[in-house]
Chains A and B, each alone.
Chain A
């Protein structure tokens, strides 16, 4: 019974990772940078949500989404745009770029501690909080349902933006070959700004939901982003389904192993899982079907 309950809890946690992973995958597709700062944005957004108790939840969510876009652009300016053109190596191999995003995540974490302390904080829920019984003593909170719904929504929205819209075509062109895209009249820098603005909105949304459902603390900055990026590595960043399934696998692993063997075993299990995937299937479980030429 406890296993089943931890499975249900794991779906909620996995949905959170999947959402952050979707955001990270989105940025990865456009800028080829895995941005660790995403964890910092999510947590800070969640902390702001938790501290604005006076506002009606719906109004708070709308305000956060409005602030999200400029916040995303700011992160872009600091973590990637500034470094662009200065590095001599392709960005995906440039460790300096990774270090910058890790440093930014650390700075955002520090800001969280400075402003809000290290307590776990919750925000009032947009939907009424309740616990539903699934029978046999297994319960699910409306928050978990909300998270799963958000994943479905985020997945469909990402899919639509990336695969079905003209904007997505331009974004993908930039991702595949920035120079050619530039020569074809796509404004590469505008696309990157746009991607980060969308990222900011998505992160602030995730932060708000996380604050409602599981609570947020600056302690979790790296926990969240590492879990999400683990999901991205496991599922692969080529297709929308990658970070979603990957995030769920990471969340389920963490929840189920944690229930049986404790947090340490769970962390080791996640790391082991990711190492196996990286060494056996470096492009993840769902690689792009049209394999790309190399070189």
Chain B
């Protein structure tokens, strides 16, 4: 990663803003011309641009925020369109048909979102491509229902525009686009926005801070389905006919292109991109459809490779306003884990025994250091305690604040986190698409014991992060990234902390800050598990030290005592100093 100084970053942010203003002005001017002065043809094309942009913005919820590539989005839109037309013809009720369109879109999107938890990116891509094929095959198979290649027309409509009422159609599209854009902005500017970005950028991080990833994905997919279904149902009424050729692969590529060029988490971007991708060829006219598809597909590749954030990305901003859904975390009502222990835990990977009958207890108000050479099983033990891996044999015991014995049968990562299990990583994990403030604030979404805005501000000041709030996290130096991670842990108010080499890569001054925090957490009664190679640090803060060799615990005690015992001295070595 290149090192970028503050001035460059500021300049870049400013440039982006100027660029955005210009784009916004051009789009507004275009629409003003379209509404007040454009020809019939111009207005008709601009209407298509507008509806495409609305569908792309709706799809950005899933593709942009959650990073779920649904290659069946053309089928989602198609199913909604056919669902609307068939229901409208059968029942005569437009309102009911709109509802059916929404339900159709929701069903497919929610299924894809649910599957995305179990499948890798490629597998999901393959399955969704196949879903698209199933849809297109269904259109040509059940011709009684779908009308085959001539499609369905003559359904009842709310909006019966004649061919010359292109201005009314354009205004209708504009209404849909503005509505979709505002709703997406509203949904994504609060808690659900922070969680979605965290999931999209680093799903594992989201789990560790206590996010129910599947739930958030499904909720966002349902919202996307509502927006996609209703926008489609309105567009179909404007078009007055549903034909299968509209909903093929070219539509998918077009929507991908609009989103990738415009910026996957942007609203103005896709509108501008839709003008270029849909509008310009329409106004020029007479371009071969296959040639366009080839150009568009190649353009998708260029954009993915060269500008993965798109040409008009939204500037980084805090997502702290008007949380529409999942307003607050109910974590303060949950029972809290205050201690954790491993009982005869065994973990193997193939023929490699990573942990062999490991038994250690971590008590409240104590710092327990785990030392050992690389590959001795330290991180594996942390991962088992954290619920990332289930032990092959043995068990993880939890101690609760109220003394009640409450065995968690399936100790999933996010559930443990919600009961106060905190974790930091060897390499700090931050969500690249969130601001520094939101990265710290993530703690309030999952862990969150009474994390409010005042405490967030306090925490940012305590960790000396207030000077970094304007910077994208991708350009932060290592020490600051570490502070962001530890500040998040601090704000989360976790009572059990699993810290994986927190001192790695820190300067001496920074280590002092870390020691201060460790002692403060200890005084607050936290049970701290400290995996560390820095033996000076261990000697200063640890109450006990656990020595691991080859997946087994070979010694427990104070580090100095352990070092004095001859047979352990070689194993421990002197570790790294500072």
Cβ–Cβ < 8 Å partners of A107 in chain B: 293-294, 297-298, 301
The residue that B118 contacts in the complex, of A78, A99, A267, A279, with Cβ under 8 A, is A279
Residue of A nearest to B63 (CB): A95
B132-145 CB mask vs A (1 if < 8 Å, else 0) is 01100110011000
A102, B298: Cβ atoms closer than 8 Å = no
The residue that A106 contacts in the complex, of B134, B138, B297, with Cβ under 8 A, is B297
Q: How many angstroms from the CA of A237 to the CA of B161 in the assembled complex?
A: 55
> What number of B residues sit within 8 Å (CB to CB) of A?
46
Interface of B is mostly: helix
A278, B119: Cβ atoms closer than 8 Å = yes
B293, A230: Cβ atoms closer than 8 Å = no
B350, A92: Cβ atoms closer than 8 Å = no
> What number of A residues sit within 8 Å (CB to CB) of B?
51
Residue of A nearest to B348 (CB): A293
A233, B131: Cβ atoms closer than 8 Å = no
The residue that B304 contacts in the complex, of A92, A93, A100, A274, with Cβ under 8 A, is A100
Q: How many angstroms from the CA of A34 to the CA of B304 in the assembled complex?
A: 17
A275 within 8 A of B: yes
Of A79-87, A163-171, A177-185, A195-203, the one contacting chain B is A79-87
Which one of B118, B142, B297 has the highest number of Cβ atoms from chain A below 10 Å of its Cβ? B297
CB contacts under 8 Å to A, within B105-128, are: 115, 118-127
Q: How many angstroms from the CA of A151 to the CA of B168 in the assembled complex?
A: 60
A94 within 8 A of B: yes
Residue of A nearest to B253 (CB): A106
A137-169 CB mask vs B (1 if < 8 Å, else 0) is 000000000000000000000000000000000
Residue of B nearest to A105 (CB): B297
Which one of A88, A100, A102, A267 has the highest number of Cβ atoms from chain B below 10 Å of its Cβ? A102
A110 within 8 A of B: yes
Interface of A is mostly: helix
Residue of B nearest to A79 (CB): B301
B349 within 8 A of A: yes
Which one of B120, B126, B133, B249 has the highest number of Cβ atoms from chain A below 10 Å of its Cβ? B126
Cβ–Cβ < 8 Å partners of B138 in chain A: 264
Q: How far is the CB of B501 from chain A (nearest CB, A)?
A: 16
Cβ–Cβ < 8 Å partners of A113 in chain B: 290
The residue that A271 contacts in the complex, of B130, B293, B383, with Cβ under 8 A, is B130
The residue that A294 contacts in the complex, of B129, B134, B141, B349, with Cβ under 8 A, is B349
A222 within 8 A of B: yes
A16-52 CB mask vs B (1 if < 8 Å, else 0) is 0000000000000000001010000000000000000
The residue that A262 contacts in the complex, of B127, B134, B141, with Cβ under 8 A, is B141
A-B contact pairs, 16 of them (CB 8 A): A34-B125, A36-B125, A96-B308, A98-B69, A98-B121, A107-B301, A110-B293, A114-B288, A114-B294, A226-B130, A264-B142, A267-B130, A270-B130, A275-B115, A278-B127, A293-B352
- Name A residues whose Cβ lies closer than 8 Å to a Cβ of B: 34, 36, 78-79, 82-83, 86, 88, 92-100, 102-104, 106-107, 109-111, 113-114, 222-223, 226, 229-230, 233, 262-264, 267-268, 270-271, 274-275, 278-279, 282, 290-295
